[in-house]
Amino acid sequence: MISLGINYGSHESSVAIVKEGKLVFAAAEERYTRIKQDSAFPVNAIKAAFMELDIDAQEVDVVSLSWPLKGDALLHDAKLFVTGGFGRTRSRAKKLAAQLLSSLNAQKKFQNLYRSFFPPPQNGFVFADHHAAHALSTFCLAEQEASVCVVFDGRGTTEATTIWKFENGHPRKLFERSFPDSIGVLYANATRLLGFRPLSDEWKVMGLAAYGRPNVDLDEFVLKRGWETTFAGRHFLPANDNEPSGFERRFAEYGRKGDGEIAQPHMDFAASVQRVCEEAMISYVAHSVALAGTADVCLAGGVALNCKANGEILRLPFVKSLVVQPAAGDDGTAIGAAFAGSIKFGVPFRRDPSFTPYLGTSYGDDEIESVLKRAKVRYERPENFVEDVATCLAADRLVGWFQGRMEFGPRALGHRSILASPIKVENRDRVNEAVKFREIWRPFAPAVMHEHGARYFQDYRMSPYMILSFWASEHARLVVPAVVHADGSCRVQSVTADNNPLFHSLLDSFSKRTGVHVLMNTSFNLKGEPIVESPLDALRTFYSSGLDVLAIGPFVVRK
């Protein structure tokens, strides 16, 4: 049974394949089209999946979209319109009517679109519940079978935040808080107000928050309902598109144009938004633990990319384990959709202890070498490849690292990474100058040998996906200052000989030269571009940036 899951129709289109109940491929369309967060139909990612897995399009049994019928969402919007949740303007009414009309045959349109590229799937199409797809995407890597999952989204169909338990082969919804009372919508409003792109640049607000004090009072927008802390959504929806919301009007003094200077009040505002976001997330996690009777928690949904908040949740005394899907945003729903399709046709869903985020395309040594030859690049194939690269890193060279199957999700996890020594704080500025062009909100993350994690990070636990933050230990502040963020937090990737053998041996080799078991790991891309996918992307980025060394497959290219 081959089940193809697709996220299409919102942003960051993506694809996943579940074969005989096992997740075997996942990738986002942006990596192939080189358009960041590409929302086009993911035809290139589907073709790449078939090629990687050596599958013929005819063999696909079911195609599953991670969005259900649009009717429910539009009825919900109509209700909001009538009850004053949305501003009752003529243009809003027109837009709703147009959306309603176009939604009538949306599923048919999707099926036709798929058929225009590929033969129809043998068992047909499934339209999965969006939040259930988020939940399935993280249940598949849960530590315990009986985990509870909280999905924090801007909005799914009608829902903003949901709580799930996996029972009798299906995810069961235990709680729903509907849009627009949504943590994601609050964060998107703050992102836009601070001059960034909403539904894309929320991580910049989180990064800026580390430089600020949470001294802006947001209480008038916080809703407390018993155990629940959430946000009064009607203040976040503008009467018309492209107008400021009530929230944005109220805090206009913190507004900033895209290229405007970032001053202390902007950072303080970001810190205040981050704090209320954490309070709200913690209220839902506490409730989910009580509701499901388990202390093993999973998170998904775009808001769960907030690694600072995730770190706070990890340290709650009533949380035993915390697992966050590394592709927590809508891209990850392709995984859940693929599982939903396979469950529907009788393949039981199983948690997969061997889950890996390295689910994308890969290139053989011959393919890589032919790209290097074609480009007439001088390269070597060192006998002691790992030692050679570790020596470069120990000498403060900036290394582009391209190995194996591409990671799924927004973080580079040591397969498409830029690596540098974390020992000198100037190395952070050097990476910024070389590729990221001085983005002060960008914290550079540490990849650490798991067996040495506790020396560098307080309350350290296994964190393989760089989606949990820890406080740096005194030792880390002294020894690896380049990967400690302004507030002392670190977004950690734990590397083991099992989860990433080559990267682990590189860390080991680096530690033998320097006594330090940590490398700085950031994504292999130029500012504003998607992470590199192919050897050619890697070569282009290498020669367009200030990187010193490219370690690609078994080959090394030096400038």
Query: How many whole angstroms separate alpha carbon 275 and alpha carbon 215?
Result: 10
Give least dist CB 243 to Fe ion, A.
24
The stretch among 45-53, 152-160, 177-185, 461-469 that binds Fe ion (CB under 5 A) is 152-160
User: How far apart are alpha carbons 100 and 331 in whole angstroms?
Assistant: 25
Cα 452 → chain centroid: 26
Nearest-CA neighbor of 521 among 506, 539, 535? Answer: 506
Among the listed ranges 325-333, 352-360, 436-444, 535-543, the one in contact with Fe ion (CB under 5 A) is 325-333
List binders of Fe ion among 351-380 (CB under 5 A): none
Interface pick for Fe ion out of 330, 369, 529, 548 (rule CB under 5 A): 330
**What is the C-alpha separation between 121 and 124, in angstroms, rounded?**
5
Nearer to Fe ion, 129 or 330 (CB): 330
- Which CB sits closer to Fe ion, 280 or 520? 280
Q: Least distance in Å: CB of 236 to Fe ion?
A: 17
Query: Measured from the CB atom, is 68 or 400 closer to Fe ion?
Result: 68
Q: How far, rounded to the nearest angstrom, does the alpha carbon of residue 377 sit from its chain's CA centroid?
A: 34
Minimum distance from residue 74 beta carbon to Fe ion (Å)? 17
Q: Which residues contact 145 (CB under 8 A, 6 or more apart)?
A: 166, 351
Residue 530 CB, shortest distance to Fe ion, in Å, is 19
Strand partners, 551: 401, 556
Tell me whether residue 163 or residue 386 sits nearer to Fe ion (CB atom).
163
Contacts of 22 (CB under 8 A, 6+ apart): 352
Residue number, 153 or 202, with CB nearest to Fe ion? 153
Residues present in the chain in total: 559
Q: Residue 10 CB, nearest distance to Fe ion (Å)?
A: 7
**Spatial distance between the Cα atoms of 544 and 537, rounded to a whole number of angstroms:** 10
Any residues with CB less than 8 A from the CB of 64 and at least 6 apart, and which?
3, 4, 5, 6, 125, 126, 127, 128, 337, 338, 340, 341, 344
Residue 77 or 330: the one with the smaller Cβ distance to Fe ion is 330
Determine if 268 is a binding residue for Fe ion (CB under 5 A): no
Q: Mark the segment that binds Fe ion (CB under 5 A) among 72-80, 146-154, 355-363, 468-476.
A: 146-154
Which residue number has the CB closest to Fe ion?
A: 153
User: Using an 8 Å Cβ cutoff, are 227 and 287 in contact?
Assistant: yes
- Quick one: 159 or 268, whose CB is closer to Fe ion? 159
> What 3-state DSSP class applies to 410?
coil
Within 93-122, which residues bind Fe ion (CB under 5 A)?
A: none
The kind and range of the H/E element at 138 are helix 130-139
User: Is the Cβ–Cβ distance between 310 and 469 less than 8 Å?
Assistant: yes
- Considering beta carbons, is residue 179 or 247 the nearer one to Fe ion? 179
Token pair listed for 156: 């799914």
- 413 in Cβ contact with 419 (< 8 Å): no
CB of 338 to Fe ion, least distance (A): 16
Q: C-beta of 153: minimal distance to Fe ion in Å?
A: 4
How many amino acids of this chain bind Fe ion (CB under 5 A)?
Answer: 2
Kindly state the smallest distance separating residue 154's Cβ from Fe ion, in Å.
Answer: 7
Smallest gap, in angstroms, from Cβ of residue 190 to Fe ion? 18
CA distance linking residue 269 with residue 517, whole number of Å = 36
Q: Which is nearer to Fe ion, 337 or 371 (CB)?
A: 337
Interface with Fe ion in residues 429-488 (CB under 5 A) = none
Measured from the Cβ of residue 459, the count of other Cβ atoms closer than 10 Å reads 11
**Which range, of 41-49, 150-158, 184-192, 520-528, touches Fe ion by CB under 5 A?**
150-158
**Least distance (Å) from Fe ion to the CB of residue 136?**
13
The tokens describing 38, both together, are: 């590409």
Residue from the set 29, 77, 129, 153 that interacts with Fe ion by CB under 5 A: 153
Pull the structure tokens for residue 164.
Answer: 């799930």
Q: Near Fe ion by CB under 5 A, which window of 148-156, 209-217, 242-250, 522-530?
A: 148-156
Q: Measured between alpha carbons, how far is 74 from 165 in angstroms, rounded to an integer?
A: 27
Residue of 179, 175, 184, 190 whose CA lies nearest to 154? 184
Nearer to Fe ion, 304 or 372 (CB): 304
Minimum Å gap between C-beta 409 and Fe ion is 14
Q: For residues 153 and 537, which CB has a smaller minimum distance to Fe ion in the complex? A: 153
Nearest to 306 by CA among 286, 285, 329, 287: 329
In the complex, which residues of this chain contact Fe ion (CB under 5 A)? Answer: 153, 330
